[in-house]
Amino acid sequence: MKNILIIGAGAMGAAFTFPCIDNKHNVTLSEPYNFKLIKKINSNNKFHPSLKIRLNKKLIVKNFTGKLLNKKWDLIVIAVSSIGIDLVRDYLKNLKYNTKILVLTKGLKYYKASNKIITMSEQINKGVKKLDLSVLKGPCLAKELAKKIKSSTIIANKNIQKAKSIGSLISTKYYKIEYSNDVKGVEICSAIKNIYAMLIGSGEGSNTSSSIFTKSINEMIYLTKHFKGKEDTVYGLAGIGDLYVSAVGGRNSKMGEFLGKGYTFKIAKKRFMPNDTIEGAELAKEIGKYFLKKINNKKIPLMVALLKAILNNKKLNIG
């Protein structure tokens, strides 16, 4: 029995508690931003409003404070949105123990100081002591995981044995884990697939979407290799696997459908999805200018089309 702290009580953070508790660990789910969510969960017999399911009665649910890091945890799981990574990093500066850390957060960040694109794990390790980080990515919808529908994900660490040590804590009959030492490739794929899911969703029919899907894979291979990841990673859970899940359903593909119908992003967002976070669009705003200036645009025409549509609020045109 281990002590596990999850930072981020949104859908994925909450869903992740199920395999952890099923492995008989002591699990604390904490939230650094939305304290109203914590109050709502605790006052409603641990019913999670996004998952529409009741969390395990053994789960401890509380607001996140720096004091939580004074305790010796066997595993700390970061499940905040990409916007919250800097806050978590600042807290982790004061981490007293050499704890294993697992990053669920997907995304990329443009780091202006060095004019580079960095991953979530690289962002966490900037300006702090080097932490024992692993990343978990792949095709896993939170609502399905919470219902214990069979799911598979991948844990990446340059040291495979460290990845496997975490996998042994959380894997179950319904939650299978694969492993990789290609941390950069896994993080790149898991981020950019949100943009390609929007593009696939924009297809006017299944024939069109299938063609876009194929071309998206080719572009993902180019970009993954550009950022020093491995081509094989694109063909795995973090690449095609995650792209498939995002393309057949979810907020990114839904927004893509509106873009394909001729709406600009701002109009579609305001009219149809005002309360939804569109990860692909947020990523486009973060990395768009860098990609358009620093990467061979002829190699990534689909990506370029989406970036220009989002950044300039123009209609999507992919030819």
Q: Say whether pLDDT at 227 is over 90.
A: yes
The residue written with tokens 């492993």 in the block is: 179
Q: Are 74 and 100 in contact (CB under 8 A)?
A: yes
Q: Say whether pLDDT at 179 is over 70.
A: yes
For domain 189-311, is the CATH number 3.40.50.300?
A: no
Q: Say whether pLDDT at 9 is over 80.
A: yes
Q: What is the pLDDT of residues 124-149, one digit of tens each?
A: 988 666 788 999 999 999 999 999 99
Q: What is the pLDDT of residues 243-259, one digit of tens each?
A: 999 999 889 999 999 99
* pLDDT in the model for residue 128: 66
pTM (predicted TM-score): 0.94
* pLDDT in the model for residue 41: 97
Domain range annotation of the chain: 3-181, 189-311
**Domain spanning 3-181: CATH superfamily:** NAD(P)-binding Rossmann-like Domain (3.40.50.720)
Q: What is the secondary structure of the chain as a DSSP string?
A: --EEEEE--SHHHHHHHHHHHHTT-EEEEEESS-HHHHHHHHHTTTEETTTTEEPPTT-EEEE--GGGGGS--SEEEE-S-GGGHHHHHHHHTT--S--EEEE----EEEETTTTEEEEHHHHHTTTSPPPEEEEEESS--HHHHHTT--EEEEEE-SSHHHHHHHHHHH--SSEEEEEES-HHHHHHHHHHHHHHHHHHHT-SSHHHHHHHHHHHHHHHHHHHHHTT--HHHHTSIIIIIHHHHHHHSSHHHHHHHHHHTT--HHHHHHHH-TT---HHHHHHHHHHHHHHHHS-GGG-HHHHHHHHHHHTT------
Question: What mean pLDDT comes out for the span 301-309?
Answer: 98
Q: Are 20 and 81 in contact (CB under 8 A)?
A: no
* pLDDT in the model for residue 306: 98
